[in-house]
């Protein structure tokens, strides 16, 4: 029913867009996971991980708007959800832009981008545990202020309702089942900031690097306090049409204090290096790590550390179509023993139709 | 004396006296705007000329520069479609003064009928690589002239006079280079991508087509083989390509066809070319050196 509704919406919007100058885009993300060992939890299923439909346009002389719907399929269940729906303004406050509505929270690197725009297929373990398989979105207000025009230092501040934390639980619901996004009123809403700096390459304005420091906090309805602090880094070296080098990394510290006083602390992140051989072909390697720093767990049979490595080959036919083949191995080390080894192959296919996708750094 | 400092501050902060901040996407456009605006404009280019202007990200530093500009000038014809709308949106300048050089020219290779992505990197408004031709760059600069006059109407005649001189200098320069290149333009030239179409037209070169079968898509091995056979008796002088065109493909085609290739800058490079004339002189001398 929801799929039919989405199709109907698209059919209605396409002719309307010609009149209203709406920018329409559709991105599909098809993934196949093949487990290569017994412990692997790969679903061994070719599935349309998401189909995202985006609409953007000026609302009036001051505001612009963006809305995206995504259809997810997992284990036979499917749900359509609103990913983002916000208004944006960059005129009212000098050197400041803000958005109000529902959006992906502007912290770190991965969380600010749609999954089909990521440089790899599957989120690193730290992102899956600290954020979500995809990205955390919520409803609120986010501002981005330029602190130094000379050195491009930007401060992002945001506060969102905090009733829920994560992407959504829609994946776990059967088709047509209503998804409850209401959550419970938190003691402290989700609040976050990111201080970032961009440094342009001296030889080419198409190359540069950006680093950022992020913080996110929230106290839920049960009094569970979440603190996340992270560092993100990305460097791109572009030569003509070829992205010659991509270096991307995030390091996050998570502290979770339960209402009964128990405290969990984890440190995790990833480092990715990708070399472009041509405008079409690129080979990448990503190393992941996640450590449990909670000392009270050290003597017990609880998770101490996860490690992972992913080797991938990407082919980009154009800006609008890419495929990726990845081999990933993850395992857990507990009390000196290795367990939960997951070795898998992943095949991904992404295509974009409609409006020209924006080249975000 | 009491009014000296307030008066001085008023005079110095008067927008009528401050030079206009103009931001362009490429150095060639920046140079052209400077020729028209003279001391009335302060021009900066977002790109340095080493990039492929289509494959650029909407980097944060662009947003800063565009936000501070009185006027933004782009090549247009969808060349910067992947990043400039994003930069303008984030900078909050969608309604601010903006000019596209491409709107002032008679674009070549404008497709007839609807365009879709199966046709490759085809621009629905026509080929955007016009700024490699002096006469087309001058035509395009007409768009900047109009915007400068709107922003500083009291300086209209100043801008008009400078534009007229600019046109004269560019026409005379193009004639001079044309005469030099006459020595080699008897034989046809091939281009890798359709980046030299306007250049060929301005300097009277015969075009043997392009190596790419579908614009923006690397030619396949069979395309290279087929084209080398087709051009066997056409006496092609050179294959002209952008600096970042794939070397392996060009070398492969050279080995098949025995037609040499030459990779050239497609625009002014900051720190290398002081003026557009330097760029054109470099192109001409390289072609004269390598053409058969």
Q: How many domains does chain B have?
A: 2
Q: A8 in a domain, yes or no?
A: no
As given in the structure block, the two tokens for residue A311 are: 């080797």
- For B24-43, how does the pLDDT look when each residue is reduced to its tens digit (9 = 90+)? 999 999 999 999 999 999 99
Please report the pLDDT score of residue A247 as a whole number: 98
Please report the pLDDT score of residue A18 as a whole number: 53
Please report the pLDDT score of residue B120 as a whole number: 85
**Is residue B58 within 8 angstroms of chain A, CB to CB?**
yes
Q: A172 in a domain, yes or no?
A: yes
Q: How many domains does chain A have?
A: 1
Percent of chain B with pLDDT over 90: 81
DSSP letters, A172-195, are GSPTTPPP-------SEEEEEEEE
- Last residue within a domain, chosen from B124, B154, B177: B177
How close is the nearest chain B Cα to the Cα of A111, in Å? 18
Please report the pLDDT score of residue B118 as a whole number: 85
Q: B116 in a domain, yes or no?
A: yes
HSE, side-chain direction, 13 A CA sphere, residue A353: 10
d(CA A331, CA A335): 13
Residues of A in CB contact (< 8 Å) with B are 58, 61, 64, 88-91, 95, 97, 146, 149, 152, 154, 196, 198, 200, 203-206, 208, 210, 236, 238-242, 278-280, 318-320, 356-361
Using the beta-carbon criterion (under 8 Å), do B216 and A280 form an inter-chain contact? no
Low-confidence ranges of chain A (pLDDT < 50): 169-180
Using the beta-carbon criterion (under 8 Å), do A61 and B95 form an inter-chain contact? yes
Higher pLDDT, A192 or B2: A192
Q: A1 in a domain, yes or no?
A: no
d(CA A29, CA B278): 48
Q: Look up residue A18 and give its DSSP letter.
A: H
Helices B27-37 and B134-151, axial angle in degrees (round to 10): 60
**Is residue B114 within 8 angstroms of chain A, CB to CB?**
no
In terms of domains, do B190 and B153 share one? Answer: no
Q: A4 in a domain, yes or no?
A: no
- Residue B7's Cβ-count burial label (10 Å; 0-12, 13-18, 19+) is exposed
Query: B residues 226-245 near A, CB within 8 Å?
Result: 242-245
Using the beta-carbon criterion (under 8 Å), do A210 and B60 form an inter-chain contact? yes
In terms of domains, do B40 and B159 share one? Answer: yes
Confidence of residue B243 (pLDDT cuts 50, 70, 90): very high
Q: Which residue of B has its CA nearest to A277?
A: B246
In terms of domains, do B29 and B107 share one? Answer: yes
- Last residue within a domain, chosen from B157, B177, B197: B177
Please report the pLDDT score of residue A166 as a whole number: 84
In terms of domains, do B96 and B187 share one? Answer: no
In terms of domains, do B163 and B221 share one? Answer: no
> Three-state DSSP class for B147?
helix
The 10 Å CB-count burial string (b at 16+, else e) for A9-22 is ebeeeeeebeeeeb
Dihedral over alpha carbons A315, A316, A320, A322 (to 10 degrees): 10
- For B151-185, how does the pLDDT look when each residue is reduced to its tens digit (9 = 90+)? 999 999 999 999 999 999 999 999 999 999 999 98
Facing residues of B19 across strands? none
Q: Residue B45 belongs to what domain range?
A: 10-177
d(CA A181, CA A96): 30
| Cα–Cα separations (whole angstroms), residue A169 to A78, A84, A123, A174, B164 | 11, 16, 17, 11, 66
Q: A15 in a domain, yes or no?
A: no
In terms of domains, do B58 and B150 share one? Answer: yes
In terms of domains, do B151 and B43 share one? Answer: yes
Q: B28 in a domain, yes or no?
A: yes
Q: Residue A56 belongs to what domain range?
A: 32-354
In terms of domains, do B187 and B285 share one? Answer: yes
d(CA B280, CA B274): 11
In terms of domains, do B280 and B165 share one? Answer: no
The ipTM of this complex is 0.84
The 10 Å CB-count burial string (b at 16+, else e) for A176-203 is eeeeeeebeebeebbbbbbebbbebbee
Q: Which residues touch A283 (CB under 8 Å, ≥6 apart)?
A: A274, A275, A277, A311, A312, A313, A314
In terms of domains, do B71 and B149 share one? Answer: yes
Q: Which residue of A has its CA nearest to B47?
A: A205
CATH code (residue B231): 3.40.50.1980
Q: B2 in a domain, yes or no?
A: no
Confidence of residue B71 (pLDDT cuts 50, 70, 90): very high
Q: B165 in a domain, yes or no?
A: yes
In terms of domains, do B195 and B284 share one? Answer: yes
Phi, psi of B253 (to 5 degrees): -65, -35
Q: A7 in a domain, yes or no?
A: no
Q: B115 in a domain, yes or no?
A: yes
| Cα–Cα separations (whole angstroms), residue B120 to A56, A131, B116, B207, B222 | 25, 38, 8, 21, 18
- For B76-130, how does the pLDDT look when each residue is reduced to its tens digit (9 = 90+)? 999 999 999 999 998 989 889 999 999 999 999 998 888 888 888 888 899 999 9
Question: How confident is the model over B1-12, as a mean pLDDT?
Answer: 58
Please report the pLDDT score of residue B92 as a whole number: 87
- Last residue within a domain, chosen from B177, B201, B233: B177
Helical ranges in chain B per DSSP H: 4-13, 27-37, 60-67, 84-91, 134-151, 156-181, 197-203, 221-230, 247-257, 276-290
- For A133-145, how does the pLDDT look when each residue is reduced to its tens digit (9 = 90+)? 999 999 999 999 9
Q: Which residues touch B258 (CB under 8 Å, ≥6 apart)?
A: none
Using the beta-carbon criterion (under 8 Å), do A360 and B50 form an inter-chain contact? no
Compute the mean pLDDT over every residue in chain B, rounded to the nearest whole number: 92
In terms of domains, do B151 and B33 share one? Answer: yes
- For B196-208, how does the pLDDT look when each residue is reduced to its tens digit (9 = 90+)? 999 999 999 999 9
CATH code (residue A345): 2.40.160.10
Q: Which residues touch A199 (CB under 8 Å, ≥6 apart)?
A: A152, A208, A209, A210
Q: A117 in a domain, yes or no?
A: yes
As given in the structure block, the two tokens for residue A5 are: 């509704």
Task: Give the DSSP H/E element, type plus range, for residue A59.
Answer: none
The length of chain B, given as a count of residues: 292
d(CA A84, CA A69): 7
């Amino acid at each position: 029913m929801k799929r039919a509704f989405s199709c109907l919406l698209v059919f209605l919007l396409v002719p309307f867009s010609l009149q209203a100058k709406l920018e329409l885009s559709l991105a599909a993300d098809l993934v196949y996971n093949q487990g290569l060992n017994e412990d692997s939890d790969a679903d061994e299923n070719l599935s349309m991980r998401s189909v995202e439909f985006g609409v953007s346009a000026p609302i009036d002389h001051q505001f612009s708007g963006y809305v995206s719907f995504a259809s997810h399929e997992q284990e036979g269940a499917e749900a359509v959800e609103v990913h983002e729906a916000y208004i944006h303004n960059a005129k009212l406050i000098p050197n400041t832009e803000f958005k109000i509505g529902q959006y992906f929270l502007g912290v770190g690197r991965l969380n600010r981008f749609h999954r089909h725009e990521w440089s790899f297929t599957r989120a690193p373990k730290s992102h899956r545990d600290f954020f979500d398989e995809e990205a955390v979105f919520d409803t609120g207000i986010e501002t981005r202020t330029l602190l130094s025009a000379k050195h491009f230092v930007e401060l992002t501040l945001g506060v969102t309702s905090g009733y829920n934390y994560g992407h959504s639980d829609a994946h776990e619901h059967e088709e047509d089942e209503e998804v409850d996004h209401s959550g419970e009123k938190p003691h402290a809403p989700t609040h976050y900031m990111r201080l970032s700096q961009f440094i342009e390459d001296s030889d080419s304005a198409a190359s540069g690097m950006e680093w950022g420091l992020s913080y996110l906090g929230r106290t839920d309805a049960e009094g569970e306090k979440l603190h996340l602090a992270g560092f993100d880094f990305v460097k791109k070296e572009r030569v003509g049409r070829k992205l010659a080098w991509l270096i991307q990394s995030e390091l996050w510290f998570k502290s979770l204090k339960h209402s009964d006083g128990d405290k969990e602390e984890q440190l995790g992140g990833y480092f990715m290096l990708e070399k472009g051989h041509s405008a079409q072909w690129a080979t990448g390697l990503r190393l992941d790590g996640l450590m449990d720093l909670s000392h009270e767990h050290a003597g017990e049979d609880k998770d101490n550390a996860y490690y992972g490595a992913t080797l991938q080959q990407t082919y980009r036919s154009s800006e609008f179509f890419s495929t990726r083949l990845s081999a990933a191995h993850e395992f857990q080390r507990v009390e000196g023993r290795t367990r939960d080894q997951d070795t898998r192959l992943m095949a991904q296919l992404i295509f974009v139709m409609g409006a020209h996708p924006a080249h975000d750094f | 004396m009491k009014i000296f400092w307030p008066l001085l501050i008023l005079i110095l902060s008067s927008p009528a006296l401050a030079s206009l901040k103009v931001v362009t996407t490429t150095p060639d456009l920046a140079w052209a705007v400077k020729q028209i605006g003279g001391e009335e404009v302060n021009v900066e280019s977002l790109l340095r000329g080493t990039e492929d202007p289509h494959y650029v990200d909407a980097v944060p530093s662009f947003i800063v520069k565009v936000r501070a500009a009185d006027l933004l000038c782009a090549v247009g014809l969808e060349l910067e479609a992947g990043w400039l709308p994003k930069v303008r949106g984030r900078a909050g300048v969608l309604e601010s003064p903006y000019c596209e050089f491409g709107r002032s020219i008679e674009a070549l290779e404008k497709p007839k009928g609807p365009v879709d992505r199966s046709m490759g990197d085809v621009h629905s408004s026509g080929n955007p690589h016009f700024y490699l031709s002096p006469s087309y760059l001058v035509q395009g600069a007409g768009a900047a002239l109009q915007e400068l006059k709107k922003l500083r109407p009291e300086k209209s005649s100043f801008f008009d006079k400078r534009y007229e001189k600019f046109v004269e200098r560019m026409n005379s320069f193009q004639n001079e280079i044309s005469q030099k290149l006459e020595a080699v333009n008897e034989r046809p030239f091939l281009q890798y991508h359709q980046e030299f179409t306007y250049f060929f037209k301005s300097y009277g070169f015969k075009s043997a087509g392009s190596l790419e079968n579908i614009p923006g898509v690397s030619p396949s091995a069979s395309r290279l083989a087929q084209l080398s056979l087709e051009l066997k008796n056409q006496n092609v002088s050179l294959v002209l390509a952008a600096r970042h065109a794939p070397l392996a493909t060009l070398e492969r085609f050279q080995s098949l066809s025995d037609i040499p290739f030459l990779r050239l800058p497609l625009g002014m490079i900051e720190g290398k070319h002081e003026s557009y004339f330097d760029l054109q002189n470099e192109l001409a001398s390289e072609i004269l050196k390598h053409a058969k």
